[in-house]
Structure 1
Amino acid sequence: MNTGPTWKLYADTPGRRLAQLLGDLLALGLAVLAIRAGQVVHRRVRELVAPGRELEEAGTRVHDSLATTGAELSGIPGVGDALRQPLDAVAATGGSIASIGRAQQNLMNELATPLALLVALAGLLLVACWVVARARWVRAVREACRMATSQAGVRLLALRALTSRSVDSLTAVHPDPATAWREGDADATAELAEVQLRALGLRAPSWRGRDAT
């Protein structure tokens, strides 16, 4: 018997094939969206550097201006030092403001990439889960197609149906499917194998009642 190609990316049954195709398109769209979202987050966080830069520049201007003025006033005999002290205090405040601005810039620069990666990876993780599930399906279908080309493989497919498919689907094949399989009922075994193939989204081949070759 021959069930066709042993490598399939999509199911034979229309409903499942459509679901897989839509899932692949959704996963692709989500991957693009996750990357774009990461880029947006990175850009927005980097934009927060600007207020810190303005704060640093303002603090630096205050510090430099008052420090210069204080240095000039210190040259006045008798009162120079007294006039300089309050100016130096305010200049120090300006320096502190500049330091805060620099710290904010450093923080935003440090956070931009990690936050962007976190947002992108959150979406890409969902995509990875879908990719893994699809890979498992492809592997299961490839194995089932290979098994369906031999009599021993058909019996193994039937056994897998007995251990994994619903009771209703099994008893629709035979009132006592386990006994029929154990006694080597060719028709029942073939139908049970078909149940397993259909569960994977594959068309069941017309080999009921015939030995696999």
Structure 2
Amino acid sequence: MQLYAASGPRRTRQVVLDGLLLCWVLVAVWLGAQVQDAAGSVADQVARVDSAGSSLAGGLTQAGDVLDGTPLVGDEVAAPFDSAAGSSTDLAQAGADTAASIETIGRWAGVGTALVLVLLVAPWYLPGRLRFVVTASLVSRYLAGEGDPDLLALRALARQPVGRVVRRVPDAAARWRAGDPEAIRALAAMELRDLGVSPPPPGRPGR
């Protein structure tokens, strides 16, 4: 697999842009983690309400149990404490549920933040980058398998600007039809340079 152009400014540009994309992804992940941590801090504060409510409920229950043993008035005196203990338990449970919900929301908010930031850049850059990797890799494999440069020369005639072809290879079409090895190599080299692939070694005539 060929990830970068063979040489020249295009390779440098690809390396730099890949590095910038990686940095952006790391920043996006960091910001997502910050969002999640912020939500976690809020959840911790809410969890303290849960802890306080549980402690209060335990204390009220103990007090109710003690007063419940008071002769004659035990039940009447203990009843408010038991009721308050139940309310404290409900408060503690609500705090626990809220803290869990905040943690879940914070986790998804962090993931969503990172994903949105990455998607702001990735669709602009990745399609062209992947297209280069696939095309360059296929062409490199074609040449490594003794592929005929004639096909690349034909591709150059079809894709390259006419003015550029005429300047570099006079009578390019006629010479290609005649199987001129020099013209075929020159046309193939033009196309390979545009694709970012190293030209084949000399001595492979084409047809």
Normalised TM-score (structure 1): 0.65
Residues 120-165 of structure 1 show CA distances to partners (whole Å, capped at 9, x for unaligned) of 6664994994874564365146246548xx7x62211112223444
Deviation at 1:38, TM superposition (A): 4.8
Unaligned runs of 5+ in 1: 1-6
Aligned amino acid, residue 19 of structure 2: L
**Residue in 1 that maps onto 2:12:** 18
**Residue in 2 that maps onto 1:46:** 40
Residues 137-195 of structure 1 show CA distances to partners (whole Å, capped at 9, x for unaligned) of 65146246548xx7x62211112223444455445556875555334344543332122
Distance 2:131 2:113 in 1: 22
Q: Which of 113, 133, 136 matches 2:134?
A: 136
Deviation at 1:63, TM superposition (A): 1.9
Residues 67-98 of structure 1 show CA distances to partners (whole Å, capped at 9, x for unaligned) of 33333444455654444444433322211110
The 3 A distance-change label for structure 1 pair 167 and 212 is closer
Q: Which of 184, 190, 193 matches 1:189?
A: 184
Q: Secondary structure of 1:48's partner?
A: helix
CA RMSD of aligned residues (A): 4.4
Distance 2:22 2:174 in 1: 47
The answer to whether the Cα contact below 8 Å between 1:8 and 1:142 also exists between their aligned partners in 2 is no
The answer to whether the Cα contact below 8 Å between 2:149 and 2:188 also exists between their aligned partners in 1 is yes
Say which structure is richer in helix.
Answer: 2
The answer to whether the Cα contact below 8 Å between 2:143 and 2:200 also exists between their aligned partners in 1 is no
The answer to whether the Cα contact below 8 Å between 1:35 and 1:120 also exists between their aligned partners in 2 is yes
Distance 2:172 2:35 in 1: 58
Distance 2:176 2:3 in 1: 28
Aligned residues, how many? 203
Normalised TM-score (structure 2): 0.66
Q: Which of 76, 91, 94 matches 1:97?
A: 91
Q: Secondary structure of 1:184's partner?
A: coil
Q: Which of 152, 156, 181 matches 1:157?
A: 152
Distance 2:194 2:133 in 1: 16
Distance 2:114 2:3 in 1: 30
The 3 A distance-change label for structure 1 pair 71 and 211 is closer
